[in-house]
Amino acid sequence: MTDSERPPSSLSNRDIADVFDTVADMLQLKGEIIHRILAYRRAAESIRELPRDIKTVYAEGQLESIDNVGGTLAEKITELLTTGELTFLNKLKAELPETLVSVLRINGVGPKKAMQFYKELGISTVPELEAAAREGRLAPLPGMGAKSEKKIIEGIEALSRQSSRVRIDIATSTAEGILAQLLALPQALWGNVAGSTRRGRATIGDLDLLVCSRDAAPIMDLFVNMPNVATIHGHGPTKSSVELLNGLQCDLRVLPPENYGAALVYFTGSQAHNITLRALAQEQGYTLNEWAFTATDGSGKQILCEKEEEVYQQLGLDWIPPELREDRGEIEAARAHQLPRLIEIGDIKSDLHMHTEWSDGKLTVREMAERARLRGFQHICITDHTQSLGIANGLTVERLLAQREEIRKVDAEMSAAHNFRVFQGVEMEIRADGNLDYPDEVLAELDFVIASLHVSLRQERAVITQRLLNAIRNPHVDMIGHPRGQLIPDREPADLDMDAVFAAAKETDTVLEINANPHRLDLDDAHARRAVELGIKLAIDCDAHAPDEFELLRYGIATARRGWVKATDVINTWSTDEFVRWLKR
Ligand code: DGT
Ligand code: CA
Ligand code: CA
Ligand code: ZN
């Protein structure tokens, strides 16, 4: 059989994306230039998110129509699809063991350290590294020490914790899709997504669904027979459990109205929140479980709650929003009637961070503005990448000025027609050496300046913290985008001294972002809460690169609510006038 007759291999979009990520990791280990590495990473991401089977795109001869795939990468995809192998990766594997890339997933282990462990101790896997760390064999290496060794053990532990969790957007759309199917049945009265998804955590272990009905059987039957079920783990009258094709486990409980409130509280969790509620119930002479309150005096008296408000009321508490239910002080606040009025999606009037065709976005300035207006916003900032992020087609000063003309034109028109404003910002690179990507005189002419870290995120604490502080202290920088640089679930945040970052942000009135993209959710809930306590202003932005990405706002809002953030803490709740006044401060 000749090559051209060979049937396409069975590699999926995901397999090819994984190969490209491995290539990127191997290049990183070899110390290749960042552009080359990013080219593979971005292609991997585009292929992973491609809504069509890559084999079909290949058959149509359209591989180069995939974002971030040019001629060279199209050839590599072709090779993979026709031979199942990649010569380039095989060559890399001859130089370094492929397993070494897994070591890079540990927080605190960058390419340099990974190579050091490999060359000096022959370590090429995570278990080998863990054994060496636990035996104290890493500490004596140059540049290491006991502290770094301990951090590596912690990083390995964190890795094993995170690996089986999925992103909130995947969990939410899966759970809401299933619930909608179940609620379409005439026997279903109402229902909820519960568990960590309802609490809006950034990552989700499994899905928990609740449906209210007096006739569970047809609901359970539909649930276990859904086309996206891979395995049925349980099929009972009150509880069923399945594993879905996408690997997620999903539990369903069906309850009659009189038990629904207690069940919803119980299965929303968190476990720590539930334990504290139960202790409160005990003090009042009741046990509280997923069904009801039951008197502990032996009388068998029960208190049934249809609504979860009744459960909280019975315990002398105000109703607690699910995002707060982590036993982090919400129960005390609810008892004192001092829960914060948390920010809601309807409070948001603007988005201050988005990309257009001028860098790596998909839409023009006008299209983006029109989308944002229809989404209900009153003003936006267009914030494309800047020159040193070449892989994202970052703007040179010359192109920045050309873009300004376009933005001013769209602004004038939309301002006249719809009272909608379009401002020119940038998302400016903080370069690896700590310098900003534009000189002050260029920054001074912009309406809104975001500074972000995208490269060299593994620098050591003092170095990377100083980079961020330089940006915060620049008088033209208004906001820091996705401050900690994490990517969910694979990349741990940069090793920043967040106390120093907060202090500088507070002192300079620099806004910190909660980036709503579910890959980021950065600041996270805990840091957002700390920032608000310190009186730092926050923004919640979608970082939209494509038309439907304003819909990601809900995840940023959930993260903010988990951080006890109020509308008054967030500058996107300001009217256009308030925003303009602040820009001129
Ligand atoms: P996950 O799935 O790891 O993202 O987190 P959750 O919170 O969804 O946890 P999950 O699915 O194990 O259980 C759902 C809820 O059920 C949990 O938030 C609280 C409740 N729950 C589960 N097991 C226990 C338990 O042993 N004790 C108590 N008090 N509550 C529990
Ligand atoms: Ca769960
Ligand atoms: Ca569960
Ligand atoms: Zn951005």
Three-class SS of 487-550: ECCCECCCCCCHHHHHHHHHHHCCEEEEECCCCCCECCHHHHHHHHHCCCCEEEECCECCHHHH
Encoded tokens for 229:
């079920």
Tell me the Cα Rg of the chain: 26
- For residue 408, the Cα-to-chain-centroid distance in whole angstroms is 32
Ligand nearest to the backbone CA of 207: 2
Mutating to test ligand 1, I would choose from 274, 289, 327, 525 the residue with most ligand atoms within 8 A of its C-beta, which is 274
279 lines ligand 1 (CB under 6 A): no
CATH topology of domain 166-335: Beta Polymerase; domain 2 (3.30.460)
Helix (H) or strand (E) holding 372: helix 365-374
> What residues in the chain have per-residue pLDDT under 70?
1-9, 51, 161-163
CA atoms within 13 A on the CB side of 306: 7
In this structure, which amino acid lies at residue 104? L
Contact 230, 243 (CB under 8 A): yes
For the chain, helix, strand, coil in percent to 5 are 50, 15, 35
Side-chain half-sphere of 88: how many Cα atoms within 13 Å? 16
Distance CA 270, CA 273 (A): 5
Beta strands 229-235 and 239-244, pairing class: antiparallel
383: its two tokens: 């914030």
Domain boundaries, the chain: 3-95, 98-161, 166-335, 345-584
**270 CB less than 6 Å from ligand 1?**
yes
Q: How far does Cα 248 stand from its chain's mean position?
A: 18
Q: Say what the pLDDT of residue 537 is.
A: 98
Residue 15: predicted pLDDT: 86
Q: Which of 16, 179, 152 is nearest to 85 (CA)?
A: 16
The model's pTM is 0.77
What pLDDT score was predicted for residue 295?
96
d(C-alpha 211, C-alpha 274), whole Å: 20
CA 185 → CA 211, 213, 214, 216, 238, distances in Å? 11, 10, 12, 11, 16
Q: What is the pLDDT of residue 216?
A: 97
Q: What is the spatial distance between Cα 176 and Cα 151, in angstroms, rounded to a whole number? A: 38
Check residue 163 and give its pLDDT: 60
- Give me the pLDDT at residue 48, please: 77
The reply to whether domains 98-161 and 345-584 share a CATH topology is no
pLDDT at residue number 51: 67
Burial (0-12, 13-18, 19+ Cβ within 10 Å), 3: exposed
Tell me the angle at which helices 553-562 and 525-533 cross, rounded to the nearest 10 degrees: 60
Which residue matches tokens 């795939």?
Answer: 69
| CATH T-level topology, domain 3-95 | DNA polymerase; domain 1 (1.10.150)
Compute the distance from residue 350 Cα to the ligand 2 centre, in Å: 33
DSSP conformational letter for 341 = -
Kindly list the distances between the CA atom of residue 560 and the CA atoms of 505, 525, 568, in Å, as whole numbers in the listed order. Answer: 18, 6, 12
- For tokens 């950034």, the residue is 202
| Protein residue whose Cα sits closest to atom 24 of ligand 1 | 271
Q: Are 577 and 569 in contact (CB under 8 A)?
A: no
Contact call for residues 53 and 62 (beta carbons, < 8 A): no
**Of 3.40.50.300, 3.20.20.140, 3.90.79.10, 3.40.1010.10, which CATH number belongs to 345-584?**
3.20.20.140
Nearest alpha carbon to residue 50 among 23, 80, 85, 15: 15
Nearest in space to 371 (alpha carbons), one of 386, 360, 361: 361
pLDDT of residue 271: 94
208 lines ligand 1 (CB under 6 A): yes
Could you tell me if the CB of 82 is within 6 A of ligand 1? no
The single residue listed with the structure tokens 């330089």 is 470
pLDDT digits (tens, 9 = 90+) for 129-183: 999 999 999 999 999 999 999 999 988 887 776 567 899 999 999 999 999 999 9
DSSP string, 280-340: HHHHTTEEE-SS-EEETTSS--EE--SSHHHHHHHTT-----GGGTTTSSHHHHHHTT---
> pLDDT tens-digit profile of 290-323?
999 999 999 999 999 999 999 999 999 999 999 9
pLDDT value of position 288: 97
The confidence score (pLDDT) of residue 409 equals 98
Determine the CATH number of domain 98-161.
1.10.150.20
Retrieve residue 514's tokens. 């909660």
By alpha-carbon position, which residue is closest to atom 26 of ligand 1?
271
